[in-house]
Amino acid sequence: VGQNLVTLKEVDSTNTFLKNILSNSKPVPDGTVIMAERQFAGRGQRNNTWHAEPGKNLTFSILLRPSFLSASQQFYLTCAVSMGVYDALYPLLRDSLKIKWPNDIYFDDSKLGGMLIENILQGSQIKHSVIGIGLNVNQEVFAPDAVNATSIKKILQKDYELKNILAEICNHIEGYYLHLKAGRLEFVRNMYLSRLYWLNEVRQFKSNGHIFEGTIINVKENGLLVVKQQNGEQEYNLKEIEFLNK
Ligand code: BTN
């Protein structure tokens, strides 16, 4: 991963760019990374936009072809990529680093980065996986509405070389990807679970307009979040539940 690196000065979105070249059936080697200094239409999860100050942060997409995973196993890729980013940053940020379900990178209660994984299926197999990662590195000032955003610089008061962090992330993702390829799916999911934000803690959530206390006890093989509540266990999809910070 990362052997073939393309750096763009400016693009709408590295995910969109990569998907476009794939749909024009241009040959793109596995592990290709498209990185942008600036995205003017960066996309996030839940149809959100992704904003990052140009030149100061990592915004890139990786192409993988996990043909060994079926569509129903997509979540394992989320686990592998999240763990790759986690392990790359762990030497710097240690135990305050967490993975917020499904795939946000958190430092304490602040968001450091996120990912947008877009899988292109062929029948029931994954044909291409476009893995977009946004990580706040050297940005110091955030928009007032990005209340819980942080960056490595805000945390450690130091500038970091984007290319070095990128290389670490690529190496660690490759490691987890090879675990998946070798069939160690549950190992990778268990690693992910062990780093999960709010795991086994009593917390507040919101779903369907109502607020309740619950405890995250698991993330299932299909990626559903399992929250234990007074009236039993409930499973949630991405758009069905919100975490309420105090
Ligand atoms: C999220 O937390 O909502 C996911 C953010 C993903 C942002 C990255 S930046 C590189 C890639 N290109 C995009 O348009 N989005 C992803």
Would the CATH topology of 5-194 be identical to that of 202-244?
A: no
Ligand 1 close to Cβ of residue 11 (< 6 A): no
Ligand 1 close to Cβ of residue 162 (< 6 A): no
Residue 242, both tokens = 């919100």
Write the pLDDT tens digit of every residue in 5-24.
999 999 999 999 999 999 99
Residue-level pLDDT at 9:
98
Shortest-distance atom of ligand 1 to CA 52: 9
Write the pLDDT tens digit of every residue in 108-119.
999 999 999 999
The answer as to CATH 2.30.30 being correct for domain 202-244 is yes
Shortest-distance atom of ligand 1 to CA 60: 10
Query: pTM of the full predicted structure?
Result: 0.98
229 CA to centre of ligand 1 in angstroms:
32
- Residue range 141-165: mean pLDDT, rounded: 96
Pocket test for ligand 1, best of 63, 116, 139 (most atoms within 8 A of CB): 116
Mean pLDDT (the chain) is: 97
Fold of 5-194: BirA Bifunctional Protein; domain 2 (3.30.930)
Domains of the chain, residue spans: 5-194, 202-244
The candidate with the shortest Cα–Cα distance to 63, out of 118, 7, 136, is 118
Residue 24, both tokens = 């024009």
Quote the distance between the C-alpha of residue 15 and its chain's center: 13
Residue-level pLDDT at 142:
97
Ligand 1 close to Cβ of residue 59 (< 6 A): yes
Write the pLDDT tens digit of every residue in 173-227.
999 999 999 999 999 999 999 999 999 999 999 999 999 999 999 999 999 999 9
Residue 60, both tokens = 């890139």
Alpha helices (H) along the chain: 14-23, 74-93, 152-156, 162-181, 185-194
Q: Give the DSSP per-residue string, 66-132.
A: -TTSBGGGHHHHHHHHHHHHHHHHHHHHGGGEEEETTTEEEETTEEEEEEEEEEEEETTEEEEEEEE
Residue 42, both tokens = 């960066």
- Residue range 33-37: mean pLDDT, rounded: 98
Residue-level pLDDT at 246:
72
Residue-level pLDDT at 155:
98
Residue-level pLDDT at 26:
81
Q: Note whether 211 and 205 are within 8 A (CB).
A: yes
- Residue range 68-97: mean pLDDT, rounded: 98
**pLDDT at residue 129 is higher than 90:** yes
Residue 161, both tokens = 């070389």
Nearest residue (CA) to ligand 1, atom 16 = 132
Element (H, E) at 11: strand 5-11
Dihedral (Cα; 216, 47, 70, 218), 10-degree rounding: 0
